[in-house]
Structure 1
C-alpha cells in the first residue's frame, strides 16, 4: 500500500465518523516556542490550552500534519526508525469522546480489512501499553476491545505520560505496537524490545494540568482540565514500513528512490555490508526530504534559526554523497527524486519545483566553496600543531571548523587522521554541549511565551471582537475589557496608558504585514488616543493608547474612530504591495516567493526568496509593471470562500500562516494579482497613486527585499529626485537627460587622475629605496634593513617599499623591516629574500617577534608578512630583537 493511500484511508476513516478534515499547517507557525511544527497537535494548541474554542463541527478534527524534529541530526540514519521529517496522522476530540472513543477509532482503522477501508493489520500482532495506574484504559483494551491481558503492558511517566514540557495540559497515554517477529528481537513486548515491537500510534488522554518543574525536571499534577480532550498521533512512515513489508522507513516508497539515485551518482551500493555507508545513504534520503519540505514552506539557508537548520541538512547531504564517492553536484538529482515521490501527497510541490531546485543547488555550490576555504583553515591549524610537536588538533579548532566553516566533525576527524593527528573530541564535545545548552536555555525561556496570553483567554473564548473596519471607519462600541500594567482594571483615568477591548471595532489590528490603525475612542469629554491595535488568538482586538482627557469605565458605550488619513495611506501601501508582488513574479518568475512584508502609510517593504541580486533593468521593469497596473484602474475585489476554492482560483498564500477553512481573497485586475489577504485595500488601483521602487537589498542568504513608496510619499520622492536632477543639470551645464553620460565622463576623468596620482605617489615612495639598500647592515650572512619611515606612511605603502627592497636585494640573503607611525598606529612590513628564507629566516616569525615590542600582532608568509601595533616607542627595541635573532642564525 503506497504512502499516499495510507494517508487517504486515514482521513476517510475519521471524516466518515464525523471528524472535520483539517489541512496540514505550514511547518513554520507564528509560535515563539518552536522553530518548526514538531507534532500533529501543534496547530491545535490554542484549543487544548483553552485560549480559543474549536471551530470544528462536533468539536472533533483529523489531520495529517507535516512535522520536523532536528534535536539529534547527527543521529539520523544510525537507527532506522527515526526521520527528521515525518507525517503525523491524528484525530482530536475537544470535550467529545474520550478514552473509549479514541481506542475504538484506532483499533477499527488498524484491524479492519483493506476492502473495508482499513489497514488490515493482524490484531494478534498488536500490543498496547498504558500508564502505570490507568486502570480505565487497561480495562477498555481488555474488556471492550479484546486484547489479551498479557499483551497489555504498563509503563511509567517517561513512556506513557504526555505533557508539553511547560505548565499546561497533560495526561496519560496509551501506545499501540506491532510485533515484527523474532527475527527483529527478543520476545516480551514493548518493555522488552522496542525494535521488534514497533510503536505505530500514541493515544493521549489529555485530562489534567501540570505545574512547574523542580530542579530535577519533576512536576506535580495540580488540577483537572474543564474538558477531557483526545490527541492522537499515528506515524505514517512507520505504518508504511509495515504495510509495504520493508525492513525500515528508509526502504518505503518515499525514501528508497533517493537511495537508489545516490547509488547511481556515487557508484556505491546500499546494504552491501558497510554500516558506515548505509548511514550515509540514509542521511541523504532523510535530509533530502526534510530539506525539500522546509524550502517548500519558504525557508532559505542562513546562519541562524530555521535557515541554519536547513543549511546543516543540505551540507550533510553533500558531505555524505562525497564520502560515498560522488564527485560532482548532487542536490538537483536528490531534490527531483524526492519531489517525485512526495507530490502525490503534497500537490503544491509541483508549483514550487523550480524554486526548490534553485535554493538547494545554490547552497550546494556555496558549500563546495566553503569546503575549499575550510580545508585551507584546517591545513593552517594542522601545520601549526605539527610544528609545535603536538599530535592532537584542539577541540576548540575542530569546533570552529564545525561552527564557522560548516565542517562536519567526521570530515575534520578524517582529515586529521590523514595528517597524522587526532582530534581532542572531549574538548569538542564540551564546546558542542555548551552550544546546545545555550540553545536549550533560550528555548526554555521562549516556551513560557505560551502563557503570556492567558490574561485574555476568557475574552478570546467568550467575547471575541467583531471587526467591521472593511466597511466602516467609525462605529459605536462597548468597552468589555480594560488592561493596565498587565492587570485587568475597571476604569482608566487621564494620563493612563491602557489596553481597551471592545465588543466591535472598525480599527484594523496589525497582521499580514499591515500595521495596526491609529485613531480615537471618544465618549463625551473623554478622549483616548489609540496608537496601536494588536490581535490575540486571531479573535481579540486589543487597542493600545493613552487617555488624553476624561476617564473610561468598564461597560461604557464609546465611539471608535479610525484616523481616516492613516487608513487611506495604509490601504494605498498594502494594495501597492500586492502590485509589486505581482510585478516581481512577472519579471522573475514563480520562484520569487513572498517571505514577509511590512506596509504602513506611504511605505512598503516586500521580502522574497530569491538567490540573485536584481539588476537595474529588472527593478525598472518591476516599477513600470506596478505603475501600469495603477494606471489601468483595476477594480480591487474581495470575497470570502473556502481555502480549497481559493487555491483552485490560484490565490497565493503567505508561508507560515495557519489559514482557517474560510479565507478572504483579494483580486486585482483578474489574473494580475490574486492573494489570500485579510488587510484593507483601496477600491481601485488608481487610488494608490504613483509607486516609487527605491531599490532592493539582501536580508540573508537566498532572501531579498524591495522597498517602495506609495501615494503622496511617492510623489514627494519623485519631486525631490526631479529637483536634484535639475540642480545637477544646471551645475554641469547639460540637459538632465544627458546627465548620466556627463557624470560617467567626469568619473572616467577622475579615475584617470587618481591613477596618475597613485603612480606619482609610488614613484615618490620608491625614489629613495636605493639609498636604503646602501644603508643595509651586514649581520653574519645576512644583509639587514631596519628603518622607521616618515610619519603617515600607511600599511599598503610599507608593503610596496618592502617588496621593492626585496627585489633590489634578491641576489643575497636579506631581511627588510620597514615601519611607520601612522596616527598612533604602528604598521610594520617584513620581507625576506629567497636566500634568506633558505637560511632559516621567516617573515611571519619576525612579525610575531616585533609584535611583542609594539603591543601588536600580525602574520603572513615566509617571504612577506605584515602587522601593526600601538606602541611606537617599542620600535627601536623591536629592531634590535630582529638583529639579535638574525645573529643567531
Structure 2
C-alpha cells in the first residue's frame, strides 16, 4: 500500500466518524519554543491547553513534522527520520479512552477491503501506564488482547505532559511484532526494533504542577474537560504495510536512496557505512524538499541553519560515497515525484525550491573547498605538535567564517584521527548567542516577558478587542501592567512597562509590517507607545514610556494611533505587495517573496534568485511597480475560507500561519492577490512612488530588494537628482555624459595608483638591499629588524633574499595599521637547516598567536605601541636558539 494511500485511508476513516479533517500546518511554527512543528499535536496545542476554544469537538490530520535532535542517528537506526508525518485524531472534551482505543484497533486490524490496514491482531502489543487499569481493561475487552500482550510501563515511557504546568495524562502505545528475524522475543520492553511502535494514544485527564523533567511534579487534579491526542507514524505504518526493514526503504524515500546508489556506483546492502550514508541522503533530501516547500530558506540562524545543515550533510554524504559532481539536480526531482501525491505543492513550487537548493549546493561546494584546506592545515599543525585535539577556536572559526557546521568539522577531524575541543567550541557559540540575545533584548523588551504572566491576563480578561482595521482611536481600560519582574500596579513618569488594554486600535507587528506608533492619554497621564506585539493568540500588548503623570491598572485612557505613521505604514505595506507583483511579472513565478519588512517610508523584500539582477532588470521591476501606481489600481480586501482563497489563486506567503478564515488583499484583481493581515491603502496611487534603493545578497540563492515609498521615496529621488546635478556641475559635463566622464576619471586614477604602487615597490626593494647590507650579527646568524608602512611579509622576504646565503639569515618586519600591528619573519635556507623556524619565532614573539611555515610566518593582533618591544626581543630569541 502506497504511503499516500495509507494517509488517505486514515483521514477517510476518521472523517466518516465525525472528525473534521484539518490540513497540515506549515513546518515553520509561530510557537516561540519551537523552530518547526515536531509533533502532530502542535497546531492543536492552544485547544488542548485550554488557551482557546476549539472550533470542532473532534478533528483529524496528517501533520508534517521535523525533528533534528537525533540527526546523528539518522541512517544508523531503523526508527529515526528528520522529516516524518504524524497521523492523528483528536477529541476536545468529546470522546475519551474507550472510543480512542476502539478507533485505533478498528483501523489497524480491519481488512484492507473494509477500509482498514489489515494488520494481524495476533502480532499487536499494547503498553499502558502502570497505574492505568482502565486502559488495560479496555484493551482486553475492546480488542481482545491477552494480558501477556498488555505491558505496563512507567512515567518515562507511558505518561505525557507538555513539560510545563498544564494538561497531562497516561498514554498507551501500540507495537507490531515484525518477527524473530529482527530481534528477541518478549515484547517492546525487550526489543523495540523487532516490536515497532506505530501508534500512541494520549489520554489527557489531569493537570500537572511545577516541576522539571518527566517525573517528580505534582498532579493537581482532574481536568474539567478531558482530551484525546493520538499519533500514528505514517512512515512506520508504511514500513509495516510495505514489508520493508526500515523507513528509508518505503516508497517515499527508497527511490532517492536508489538514485544516490546509482550516482555513486555503490550497491545498497553491501557495506554498512555506505548504507548509512545512503539512508542519510534519502532522508535529508526529502526533508530539505519539504522545508523548502514550506518557505524555509538556507541561512546561518534558526530554521535556516537547520535546513543548511541538512542540505550540506546530504551533499557531503554523496561526496564521501565517491560522487564529486553536483548531486541535488539528480536527487531533488526524485524526492519531488515521491511526495507530490500527498503534497502537490512540491511540484507546483519546484522551480523556486530547486533554485534555492541548487544555489546552496553550489555555495557549499565552494565552502567545502576553502574550509577543507583550512581544516587540513589545522589538523596537520595539531599532529605536527604531537597533539590530538583541534582547538575549539579553530572549530568556531570554521563555523563562523566558512559556514562549516560543527558536526561536519567533527566528522572530518575524526576521519583524520583528531578530536575536537567541543567544550571550547560550545563556549564560544554560547558567547555569540548571548551577544545576540542581549542585542535582541535591547530592541524588544516585550519578548522578554514571562509568558505565564501574560497567559494569566488572557485567562482573566479574555482576548483583546482589536480594532486596527476599523479606527485609529479607542476609549480603553488598562487591564494589566507588566515589568521585567512581573505585574505592576502603576508606572510613573519616565518608566517603561508593558500595557494590556481591553481594546486597542494599534496594529501589532506581524506579517512583516512594523507596529503602530501613537499615544495613551488619560485624565492625568500621557504615555508614548513604543512597540505593539501579539505574544499569545488573541492577546495584544503595548510597550509604553510614561511621559507625564502616572499610569495605573484600571485607568481609563484614550488609545490613539499616529495618523501619519499609519498612513506611511499602509503605503509601505501596499508598496511591498506591488513590488512583489512587479518582481513576478518581470522575473517569473519563481521570484516568490520569502520574507519582508516594512515601516513608514521603507520596505524590503527577499526572494529566491541566483545572481544579481543587474541595472536593466531592476529598472524593469521599478517601472512595472510604478506603472501599477499610475494606473491607480483598486485595493480590495475580502474574507474567505483558506480553500476558497487557494482556489482563487491567492498567494500564501511563507513564514505566516493562517486560520480557517483568511484575509485576501487584491491590488488590481488577479495582478496582486495575497493572503495578508496588514493595513493597506484604498487605491494604488496613494502609495505615491516606489523607488528602489538597493539590491543585495542575503544568502546563497536569496536576494533582497529595498525601496523607499511615499514622501520618503520622493525625497530619495530628489536627493539623487541633486547629486547628479552637483556632479554635472563639478565635471562640467551634460548629465547624459556623466557615466562616460566618471569612467575616464576612474581609469586615470587606476593608472595613477598602479604607477604609485610600482614606485613604492621599487623603493621597498632598494630599502631591502640597504637593510640587508646593515644586518646585525647575532651569534652565527645575520639579523635584520625593521618596520614598514607597506606589506610586512613582502619586505621580510625581499630582505631575506638579499642576505648572504651561506650564513643563517633572519628578517623580522613589523607594520602598523589602525592601531594594530602585524609581524612577519622570513628565514633563508641556512637558518632553517640550523634548526630555526619562522613559525616558532612568530609564536614566541606574539604569545602563541600567528603561524606559518618554517620558511615564512606572520601574525597579528599586537597593539601598535608594543611592536618596538617585540622587534627588540628577536635577538634574544636567536641567542637562546644558539
TM-score of the aligned structures, taking structure 1 as reference length: 0.88
CA shift in 2, pair 1:495/1:882, >3 Å: closer
Q: Aligned with 1:212: secondary structure?
A: coil
Distance 2:137 2:95 in 1: 17
Query: Does 2:260 correspond to 1:262?
Result: yes
2:279 to 268, 271, 282: 282
Structure 1 match to 2:796: 802
CA deviations 1:13-45 (Å, max 9, x no partner) are 122222221111111112221121110111111
| Residue equivalent to 2:104 | 106
Q: Given the alignment of the two structures, is residue 11 of structure 1 paired with residue 8 of structure 2, yes or no?
A: no
1:159-203 CA-to-partner distances (Å, cap 9, x unmatched) read 100112222221100111112223223332222322222111111
- Secondary structure (helix, strand or coil) at the match of 1:767 reads helix
In the other structure, the counterpart of 1:691 is 690
Answering whether residue 315 of structure 2 is matched by residue 321 of structure 1, we say no
Deviation at 1:451?
A: 2.9
2:591 corresponding residue in structure 1: 592
Q: In the TM superposition, what is the alpha-carbon distance from 1:79 to its structure 2 partner?
A: 0.9
Task: List runs of 5+ in structure 2 lacking aligned partners.
Answer: 442-446
Alpha-carbon displacement from aligned partner over 1:639-666 (angstroms, at most 9, x marks no partner): 1111112112221122232211111111
Matches within 5 A, 1:245-260: 245-260=243-258
- In the alignment, what sits opposite 1:832? 827
Displacement, 1:745? 2.2
Moved more, 38-47 or 644-653: 644-653
Q: Distance in 2 between matches of 1:401 and 1:367?
A: 16
**Corresponding residue number in structure 1 for 2:679:** 680
Among 819, 838, 857, the residue aligned to 2:813:
819
Q: Is the 8 A contact 1:187 1:193 kept in 2?
A: yes
Closer, same or farther: CA 481–615 of 1 in aligned 2, 3 Å: same
Contact kept, 8 Å, 2:288 with 2:311, in 1: the verdict is yes
Matched, 1:39 2:39: yes
The residue number in structure 2 matching 1:764 is 763
Equivalent-residue separation in structure 1 for 2:693 and 2:205 (angstroms): 55
- Is the 1:161–1:170 Cα contact (8 Å) retained in structure 2? yes
- Equivalent-residue separation in structure 2 for 1:33 and 1:207 (angstroms): 24
Shift in CA distance, 215/4, structure 1 to aligned 2, threshold 3 Å: closer
Map 1:517-556 onto structure 2 (within 5 A): 517-519=516-518, 530-545=529-544
Q: Distance in 1 between matches of 2:221 and 2:580?
A: 50
Residues 71-110 of structure 1: pairs in structure 2 closer than 5 A = 71-110=69-108
CA contact (8 A) 1:482 1:498 kept: no
Contact kept? 1:298, 1:609, Cα under 8 Å = no
Query: 1:406-436: CA deviations, max 9, x gaps?
Result: 46367435642xxxxx434xx6566688799
Change (3 A) 1:815 1:470: same
- After superposition, residues 334-413 of structure 1 pair within 5 angstroms as 334-389=331-386, 392-394=388-390, 396=392, 403=399, 405-406=404-405, 408=408, 411-412=411-412
Task: Compare 524-533 and 212-221 and name the one that shifted more.
Answer: 524-533
Q: Does the C-alpha gap of structure 1 residues 726 and 428 become closer, same or farther in structure 2, counting only changes over 3 Å?
A: closer
Distance 2:699 2:822 in 1: 35
Q: Which moved more, 1:500-509 or 1:74-83?
A: 500-509
User: Partners of 2:426 and 2:105 in 1: how far apart?
Assistant: 42
Residue 66 (structure 1) shift: 0.7
Determine the structure 2 residue equivalent to 1:650. Answer: 649
Out of 180, 184, 188, the residue aligned to residue 186 of structure 1 is: 184
Q: Specify which of 125, 128, 131 is matched with residue 126 of structure 2.
A: 128
Q: Deviations over 1:371-413 (max 9, x none)?
A: 33343334333433443345x3557589569856346367435
Offset of 1:633 from its aligned partner? 0.9
Residues 287, 447 of structure 1: CA spacing in aligned structure 2 closer, same or farther, 3 A cutoff?
farther
Give the whole-Å Cα distance in 1 for the aligned partners of 2:158 and 2:721. 72
Paired residues of 2:482 and 2:499 also in contact (CA < 8 A): no
Verify the 8 A CA contact 1:527 1:550 in the aligned structure 2.
Answer: yes
The answer as to 2:115 corresponding to 1:117 is yes
Which residue is 1:639 aligned to?
A: 638
CA distance in 2, matches of 1:859, 1:489: 57
Cα distance, 1:693 vs structure 2: 1.5
Contact preservation (8 Å) 1:33, 1:450: no
More displaced stretch, 316-325 vs 66-75: 316-325
SS of residue matched to 1:373 = helix
The aligned counterpart of 2:714 is: 715
1:884 equivalent to 2:882? Answer no
Structure 1 pair 95–727 and aligned structure 2 pair: CA distance change class (3 A): same
Equivalent of 1:786 in 772, 784, 787: 784
Superposition pairs of residues 481-520 of structure 1, within 5 angstroms: 481-485=479-483, 505-519=504-518
How far residue 8 of structure 1 moved from its aligned partner, in angstroms, is 0.9
For residues 490 and 380 of structure 2, what CA distance do their matches in structure 1 show?
A: 73
Q: CA distance change for structure 1 residues 482 and 373 in 2, over 3 Å: closer, same or farther?
A: closer
Q: Which piece of structure 1 moves more, 290-299 or 687-696? A: 290-299
Measured at CA, do residues 431 and 61 of structure 1 come closer, stay the same or move farther in structure 2, by a change above 3 Å? Answer: farther
Q: Is contact 1:816–1:830 with CA below 8 Å preserved after alignment?
A: yes
2:844 is the alignment partner of 1:843: no
| Cα deviation code 1:568-619 (max 9, x no counterpart) | 1111111001111222333443333333322222222223344534433333
Give per-residue Cα distances to partners, 1:304-338, cap 9 Å, x unaligned. 32222222222222222223222322122121111
With over 3 angstroms needed to count, the CA separation of the structure-2 counterparts of 1:109 and 1:402, relative to structure 1, is: farther
Match of 2:297 among 296, 300, 304: 300
> What SS is found at the alignment partner of 1:594?
coil
Which segment is superposed worse, 558-567 or 236-245?
558-567
Show the counterpart of 1:240. Answer: 238
Matched residues in 2 for 1:710 and 1:679: separation? Answer: 16
CA distance in 2, matches of 1:124, 1:429: 48
Q: State how far apart, in whole Å, the 2-side matches of 1:448 and 1:151 are.
A: 48
Contact 1:817 1:828 in 2 (8 A): no
Deviates more, 1:274-283 or 1:505-514: 505-514
Count of residues paired in the alignment: 864
Higher relative contact order (CA 8 A, sep 6+): 1
Quote the RMSD (CA, aligned, Å).
3.6
Equivalence map 1:197-212=2 (5 Å): 197-212=195-210
Indicate the residue corresponding to 1:174 in structure 2: 172
Note closer, same or farther for the CA distance 1:431–1:7 as it changes in structure 2 (3 Å cut).
farther
Q: Is the 8 A contact 2:155 2:214 kept in 1?
A: no
- Structure 1 residue 771, shift from structure 2 partner: 3.6
Bigger shift: residues 78-87 or 326-335: 326-335
Superposition TM-score, scaled by structure 2 size: 0.89
| Residues 122 and 704 of structure 1, relative CA distance in 2, 3 Å threshold | same
1:330 to 307, 327, 331: 327
Question: Is residue 737 of structure 2 the alignment partner of residue 738 of structure 1?
Answer: yes
Question: For the residues of structure 1 that align with 2:870 and 2:172, how far apart are their CA atoms?
Answer: 77
Deviates more, 1:306-315 or 1:277-286: 306-315
Q: Is the 8 A contact 1:794 1:827 kept in 2?
A: no
Q: CA deviation at 1:146?
A: 2.7
Deviation of 1:157 after TM superposition, in Å, equals 0.4
Q: 1:625, CA displacement in angstroms?
A: 1.7
| Aligned equivalent of 1:64 | 62
1:864 aligns with 2:856: yes
Structure 1 range deviating more: 349-358 or 285-294: 349-358
Distance 2:504 2:303 in 1: 36
2:444 aligns to what?
A: none
642-651 or 856-865, larger mean C-alpha shift: 856-865
Given that residues 392 and 423 in structure 2 are in contact (C-alpha distance below 8 angstroms), is that contact kept between their aligned partners in structure 1? no
